[in-house]
Amino acid sequence: MIKVNLIVAVSENNVIGLKNDLPWNLPDDMSFFKETTLESTVIMGRKNYLSIPEKFRPLKNRKNIILTTNKSFKAKDCIIAGSLEKALEIAQKNKRKIFIIGGGKVYEYALKNNLVDIIYLTRVHATIQGDILFPKIDLKSWYTIDEKFHQKDRNHRYAFTFLKLQKNTN
Protein backbone atom coordinates (compact mmCIF):
# COMPACT_ATOMS: atom_id res chain seq x y z
CA MET A 1 0.00 0.00 0.00
CA ILE A 2 1.22 3.47 -0.90
CA LYS A 3 1.24 5.86 2.07
CA VAL A 4 -1.35 8.63 2.01
CA ASN A 5 0.05 12.13 2.45
CA LEU A 6 -1.84 15.29 3.28
CA ILE A 7 -0.37 18.70 2.41
CA VAL A 8 -1.67 21.98 3.83
CA ALA A 9 -0.69 25.50 4.92
CA VAL A 10 -2.36 26.53 8.19
CA SER A 11 -2.31 29.75 10.23
CA GLU A 12 -1.79 29.75 14.01
CA ASN A 13 -5.61 29.90 14.41
CA ASN A 14 -6.11 26.99 11.94
CA VAL A 15 -7.35 29.10 8.99
CA ILE A 16 -6.62 27.61 5.57
CA GLY A 17 -8.89 29.66 3.32
CA LEU A 18 -10.97 32.78 2.78
CA LYS A 19 -13.75 32.99 0.19
CA ASN A 20 -12.44 29.89 -1.63
CA ASP A 21 -8.92 31.30 -1.91
CA LEU A 22 -5.66 31.28 0.06
CA PRO A 23 -5.60 34.12 2.62
CA TRP A 24 -1.86 34.77 2.03
CA ASN A 25 0.75 34.87 -0.69
CA LEU A 26 3.81 32.80 0.26
CA PRO A 27 5.78 32.05 -2.94
CA ASP A 28 8.24 29.67 -1.25
CA ASP A 29 5.37 27.66 0.22
CA MET A 30 3.76 27.49 -3.25
CA SER A 31 7.08 26.23 -4.66
CA PHE A 32 7.31 23.67 -1.86
CA PHE A 33 3.76 22.47 -2.66
CA LYS A 34 4.57 22.17 -6.36
CA GLU A 35 7.90 20.37 -5.87
CA THR A 36 6.50 18.03 -3.22
CA THR A 37 3.44 16.97 -5.23
CA LEU A 38 5.02 16.73 -8.72
CA GLU A 39 4.58 13.32 -10.39
CA SER A 40 2.06 12.28 -7.73
CA THR A 41 -1.68 11.75 -7.54
CA VAL A 42 -3.46 14.72 -5.95
CA ILE A 43 -6.94 14.34 -4.46
CA MET A 44 -9.10 17.40 -3.85
CA GLY A 45 -12.68 18.46 -3.38
CA ARG A 46 -14.61 20.09 -6.23
CA LYS A 47 -14.58 23.58 -4.64
CA ASN A 48 -10.85 23.30 -4.03
CA TYR A 49 -10.33 22.36 -7.69
CA LEU A 50 -12.44 25.31 -8.85
CA SER A 51 -10.44 27.67 -6.58
CA ILE A 52 -7.27 26.89 -8.57
CA PRO A 53 -6.78 29.59 -11.24
CA GLU A 54 -8.03 28.18 -14.55
CA LYS A 55 -4.63 28.46 -16.26
CA PHE A 56 -3.21 26.02 -13.66
CA ARG A 57 -6.05 23.45 -13.91
CA PRO A 58 -5.60 20.57 -13.84
CA LEU A 59 -2.36 20.68 -11.83
CA LYS A 60 0.36 19.78 -14.33
CA ASN A 61 2.52 16.64 -14.06
CA ARG A 62 0.14 15.19 -11.52
CA LYS A 63 -2.83 12.84 -11.76
CA ASN A 64 -5.79 14.98 -10.55
CA ILE A 65 -8.70 13.28 -8.78
CA ILE A 66 -11.67 15.47 -7.86
CA LEU A 67 -14.18 14.49 -5.19
CA THR A 68 -17.79 15.38 -5.82
CA THR A 69 -21.22 13.85 -5.45
CA ASN A 70 -22.38 15.95 -8.44
CA LYS A 71 -22.67 13.24 -11.11
CA SER A 72 -22.71 15.77 -13.97
CA PHE A 73 -19.47 17.52 -12.93
CA LYS A 74 -16.73 17.18 -15.54
CA ALA A 75 -13.15 18.47 -15.56
CA LYS A 76 -10.82 17.98 -18.52
CA ASP A 77 -8.00 15.47 -17.90
CA CYS A 78 -9.21 14.75 -14.35
CA ILE A 79 -10.69 11.68 -12.70
CA ILE A 80 -13.96 12.21 -10.80
CA ALA A 81 -14.67 10.16 -7.67
CA GLY A 82 -17.77 10.13 -5.50
CA SER A 83 -15.93 9.45 -2.23
CA LEU A 84 -12.49 9.78 -0.71
CA GLU A 85 -12.30 5.99 -0.32
CA LYS A 86 -12.98 5.54 -4.06
CA ALA A 87 -10.38 8.20 -4.91
CA LEU A 88 -7.78 6.45 -2.73
CA GLU A 89 -8.60 3.11 -4.36
CA ILE A 90 -8.00 4.68 -7.81
CA ALA A 91 -4.84 6.43 -6.59
CA GLN A 92 -3.36 3.21 -5.18
CA LYS A 93 -3.57 1.67 -8.68
CA ASN A 94 -1.57 4.57 -10.18
CA LYS A 95 1.55 3.54 -8.21
CA ARG A 96 2.44 7.19 -7.54
CA LYS A 97 2.79 9.11 -4.31
CA ILE A 98 -0.67 10.20 -3.04
CA PHE A 99 -1.51 13.65 -1.67
CA ILE A 100 -4.78 14.93 -0.27
CA ILE A 101 -4.64 18.65 -1.04
CA GLY A 102 -7.95 20.00 0.34
CA GLY A 103 -10.26 21.60 1.03
CA GLY A 104 -11.40 21.81 4.61
CA LYS A 105 -14.12 19.14 4.49
CA VAL A 106 -11.84 16.69 2.68
CA TYR A 107 -9.08 17.22 5.26
CA GLU A 108 -11.56 16.79 8.10
CA TYR A 109 -12.99 13.57 6.66
CA ALA A 110 -9.54 12.10 5.91
CA LEU A 111 -8.22 12.79 9.41
CA LYS A 112 -11.40 11.74 11.24
CA ASN A 113 -11.43 8.44 9.34
CA ASN A 114 -7.73 7.76 9.94
CA LEU A 115 -6.85 7.74 6.23
CA VAL A 116 -3.62 9.79 6.45
CA ASP A 117 -0.09 8.50 7.16
CA ILE A 118 1.99 11.68 6.74
CA ILE A 119 1.11 15.39 7.01
CA TYR A 120 3.16 18.08 5.27
CA LEU A 121 2.04 21.08 7.31
CA THR A 122 3.22 24.61 6.66
CA ARG A 123 2.50 26.51 9.89
CA VAL A 124 2.01 30.18 8.98
CA HIS A 125 3.09 32.19 12.03
CA ALA A 126 0.17 34.63 12.07
CA THR A 127 -3.44 34.87 13.13
CA ILE A 128 -5.40 35.23 9.90
CA GLN A 129 -9.06 35.98 9.14
CA GLY A 130 -10.70 33.19 7.18
CA ASP A 131 -13.79 31.07 6.70
CA ILE A 132 -12.25 27.64 6.07
CA LEU A 133 -10.46 25.92 8.95
CA PHE A 134 -8.12 22.97 9.20
CA PRO A 135 -9.39 20.48 11.80
CA LYS A 136 -7.56 20.32 15.11
CA ILE A 137 -5.24 17.35 15.15
CA ASP A 138 -4.31 15.40 18.23
CA LEU A 139 -0.57 16.02 18.34
CA LYS A 140 -0.12 12.93 20.54
CA SER A 141 -1.07 10.90 17.46
CA TRP A 142 1.70 12.46 15.33
CA TYR A 143 5.41 13.06 15.66
CA THR A 144 7.61 15.53 13.79
CA ILE A 145 10.11 13.91 11.41
CA ASP A 146 11.28 17.12 9.73
CA GLU A 147 11.08 20.84 10.51
CA LYS A 148 12.42 23.87 8.65
CA PHE A 149 11.79 27.51 9.60
CA HIS A 150 11.34 30.22 6.93
CA GLN A 151 11.88 33.83 7.99
CA LYS A 152 9.50 36.62 7.02
CA ASP A 153 11.09 38.65 4.19
CA ARG A 154 10.20 41.07 1.40
CA ASN A 155 8.46 38.28 -0.58
CA HIS A 156 6.77 36.71 2.45
CA ARG A 157 4.59 38.80 4.76
CA TYR A 158 4.65 36.07 7.42
CA ALA A 159 7.27 33.69 8.77
CA PHE A 160 6.35 30.01 8.50
CA THR A 161 7.64 26.57 9.35
CA PHE A 162 7.56 23.50 7.12
CA LEU A 163 6.67 20.48 9.27
CA LYS A 164 6.52 16.86 8.24
CA LEU A 165 4.47 14.79 10.67
CA GLN A 166 4.15 11.04 10.74
CA LYS A 167 1.33 9.12 12.37
CA ASN A 168 2.22 7.25 15.54
CA THR A 169 1.51 3.60 14.89
CA ASN A 170 1.77 2.37 18.48
Counted domains in the chain: 1
The CATH number linked to 113 is 3.40.430.10
- Report whether 101 contacts 46 (CB < 8 A): no
Structure pTM? 0.96
Q: By residue range, what is the domain housing residue 158?
A: 4-167
Residues 6+ apart with CB under 8 A from 56: none
What pLDDT was estimated at residue 94? 87
**pLDDT under 70: residue ranges of the chain:** 170
Backbone φ and ψ for 110, nearest 5 degrees, come out as -60, -45
